[in-house]
Structure 1
């Protein structure tokens, strides 16, 4: 995701120009931003857990099913209630990586609703600062503050986080481990920060989707939520089962300090 740091209080159109400038860099990050880091694929997490004799994986076994995870960054927003209505109607569970400042703060009732309706609630940091550019104490604050708020609102402390722009390094990973957090990257991006066209967003997701994929969308942009019903219907027709990120890894569990990427 392009940097939204210190731009969230402007209208969406105001920070979209900045997003376009950094888009080329941001899109390369899943391939290059963690080049020096070891990452773990969902299939590897499942295989390792199976070898260790663990057996808990909930209602869906992604060792057999054709699973894919739908994830949303940078909410809650004014569009999130409609998104939750759609997910409920379609019987799909998603993973939400929430921002604290101006988001969790502004829509606490939506954070509670996400948890109450069975979605995985996770962190996208407090203020979307690029973690690799700030000192360790500030990294810890960016990770701890949203987790404290989510735990206060839902009774459950997050175990997952998504670093802004996918940028991470050894220092970020060490602090994430100490805070009990695994880092979750992605394999599908619709560039929904660059377009309000739901049909284009839908087509981009469908072109990139594959088994064990993690789809990155943003529920704060006006074109994204209208694209979601078509994405869900088309992928279901292709035989996909929608799961949360923890379900995708099961029977393995997200290990703090580990970076997961399909």
Structure 2
């Protein structure tokens, strides 16, 4: 068995364990079963930017977990300290490609480069290899799904099924309070996916 294949199997095992057990991660570690409790997971795209520090402050104050889908070229290189802080404070750091192209419009070799390069740099900064990715503009197809399975990545969309995309400039405190006021428990994206049995390569929702 090649070293690459062993690495991919190990990555897939980690992802599978996370999804099956539904570990909380993030800023809340309280046991929550999202199969019986109304759960919501906050997500941010293309971070980090100038306002990310303030967003992290609010999440810490509210004890709310989130997932940040990080673009490699630009945001990650300009603000590695914020990406490191995301991970240190228990948030999920996901892959949002290197330059945010539509993965459905580029050759598979370029799509692979976009994801692998971002994986590598995020792992260098945080010490953790991402297991989640968000395709730019939500564009995906069977080819992208196959590539994500190969890399042990779960695709995460937005706007349904408990995944809430928080747009730039939004009142994060208001979003958190609004969701909790409607009876939602804020959890990590991994916990939402685990409750729905979503595996590597699949797009959710």
Common fold, TM-score beyond 0.5? yes
2:106 is matched with 134
Using the size of structure 2 for normalisation, the TM-score is 0.83
Q: Once the 2 structures are TM-superposed, how far is the Cα of residue 102 of structure 1 from its aligned partner?
A: 0.6
Structure 2: gaps of 5 or more residues: 1-18, 25-30
Shift of 1:217: 2.3
Aligned partner (choices 58, 65, 71) of residue 86 of structure 1: 58
Task: Give me the whole-angstrom Cα distance separating, in 2, the residues matched to 1:106 and 1:254.
Answer: 33
- 1:235 CA drift (Å): 1.5
In the other structure, the counterpart of 1:248 is 192
Preserved contact between residue 57 and residue 251 of structure 1 (Cα < 8 Å): no
- TM-score of the superposition, structure 1-length normalised? 0.65
Highest CA radius of gyration, 1 or 2?
1
Distance of 2:45 and 2:131 partners within structure 1:
16
Tell me, yes or no, if the aligned pair for 1:108 and 1:153 is still in contact at 8 Å: yes
Q: In 2, distance between residues paired with 1:258 and 1:104?
A: 25
Note closer, same or farther for the CA distance 1:250–1:99 as it changes in structure 2 (3 Å cut): same
1:98/1:253 CA distance change after superposition, 3 Å: farther
Distance 1:152 1:105 in 2: 12
The 3 A distance-change label for structure 1 pair 55 and 71 is closer
Q: Separation in 2 of the partners of 1:56 and 1:128?
A: 29
Q: How many residues align?
A: 182
Superposed CA offset, 1:241-261 (max 9, x none): 111110112356652211110
2:144 to 132, 151, 172: 172
